[in-house]
Amino acid sequence: MQKQNQMDISTIHQKYFRPSCLRALNLRFGGEFYSLFSEKPHDQIHLPPEWFRTPEDTLLNYFSILREAENLGGRSCGTVGQARTPFPIAYNFLSREYQKKLSFDEYFDSFAGIGHTSLIKLFYVPDGKNGLKFFYEMETIEGFKGKRAEYFGYSYGFINLVYEKEGFKISYLSKFEEDFLCAPYHGWDHDGEAVVEVKYGEWCKLIQQIYPTVREGYFKHIYFKGTDGADYWFIYVTLTNGTDVEIAQFRKFINEEWKQINIKPEEECLTRFERVKES
């Protein structure tokens, strides 16, 4: 039995070690495109408005431009991709307000160590407060300065957009690097079902009955009947490293439509749970 359990655990943990096999989404521009902007600083670049026509156009064009951007600090084999040329172009996808907060030099430095970028996930995220919001995940080829070997890195985040006279521009972009060792060795908080049971069940005492998870590709839809009589619906996305990230929460009382909510268990429930546990 012990041997069988070890085999089962090993099989489960493989999802944390395997790289992504998803196709790249950022394939809109070819090599000859970059020659139009060679040697131009960001404030002398003017981009066509059709690149910003829809939020999806803005983001796919933005990541396509960055596909062959390189900030590795030099390689003995010569030029990598389109070298530094894409960065001033991509900087023009940021809104005016975002550029005031993030200088071009700071923007460029944020890509330190990256030699190639593949966008592997991109989708709209419901967000009633912050307007247009998208989730993304990307696969990068990265390297350490002074070392010849490169490696694959994975990161994800959320992007907010605003509409300016040129079209949709990026008003904020977050980035979180994925870890491939903590998930298989530590904790329940990498798994969507476990997160719901612990945070919303044990901490918040909100779960009366939890239903089987509905899976759609890399999405998980987790439903449960609440102790308050309402139905709850949580959406998670599974990253390349196997970790589930919460995307949205919804609640529905009888004869009502689904309404987006924002329960924060760490702030609203954990302290109360710890007090009860200690008493």
The pLDDT of residue 144: 72
Going by C-alpha positions, the residue among 64, 68, 114, 62 that lies closest to residue 90 is: 62
* Domain assignment present for 230: yes
The pLDDT of residue 90: 97
244-252 and 259-261 strand pairing:
antiparallel
- Domain count within the chain: 2
* Domain assignment present for 248: yes
Residues 23, 127, single domain; the answer is yes
* Domain assignment present for 4: no
pLDDT in tens, 242-276: 999 999 999 999 999 999 999 999 998 987 655 55
* Domain assignment present for 10: no
State which of 177, 212, 234 marks the end of a domain: 177
Alpha-carbon span 214 to 261, nearest angstrom: 20
DSSP run (H or E) holding 137: strand 132-143
State which of 158, 177, 196 marks the end of a domain: 177
Q: Is the pLDDT reported for residue 278 higher than 60? A: no
The pLDDT of residue 146: 65
The runs of H, that is alpha helices, within 131-241 are 182-185, 192-195
pLDDT higher at 38 or 120: 120
Alpha-carbon span 63 to 143, nearest angstrom: 20
The pLDDT of residue 30: 77
Q: What letter would DSSP give residue 263? A: -
The pLDDT of residue 36: 85
The pLDDT of residue 7: 40
Residues 105, 60, single domain; the answer is yes
pLDDT higher at 270 or 17: 270
The pLDDT of residue 6: 44
CATH number at residue 130: 3.10.450
* Domain assignment present for 1: no
The pLDDT of residue 220: 97
Q: Is the pLDDT reported for residue 125 higher than 70? A: yes
Q: Is the pLDDT reported for residue 2 higher than 50? A: no
Residues 173, 191, single domain; the answer is no
* % of residues, the chain, pLDDT over 70: 86
* Domain assignment present for 86: yes
Q: Is the pLDDT reported for residue 147 higher than 90? A: no
Residues 66, 161, single domain; the answer is yes
Residues 159, 44, single domain; the answer is yes
State which of 126, 142, 177 marks the end of a domain: 177
What is the extent of the structural domain holding 106?
18-177
Q: Please give the mean pLDDT across all residues of the chain.
A: 87
Residues 145, 195, single domain; the answer is no
Residues 143, 191, single domain; the answer is no
When pLDDT is averaged across residues 88-96 and rounded to a whole number, the result is: 97
When pLDDT is averaged across residues 39-65 and rounded to a whole number, the result is: 94
The pLDDT of residue 274: 59
The pLDDT of residue 138: 96
* Domain assignment present for 225: yes
Residues 137, 52, single domain; the answer is yes
pLDDT in tens, 196-246: 999 999 999 999 999 999 999 999 999 999 999 999 999 999 999 999 999
Residues 194, 223, single domain; the answer is yes
Residues 60, 95, single domain; the answer is yes
Q: E strands within 211-274?
A: 214-216, 219-226, 231-238, 244-252, 259-261
Task: Give residues with Cβ within 8 angstroms of 34, minimum separation 6.
Answer: 68, 82, 85, 86, 89
When pLDDT is averaged across residues 116-145 and rounded to a whole number, the result is: 88
The pLDDT of residue 16: 65
Residues 31, 121, single domain; the answer is yes
Residues 44, 167, single domain; the answer is yes
CB neighbourhood size of 1 (10 A): 5
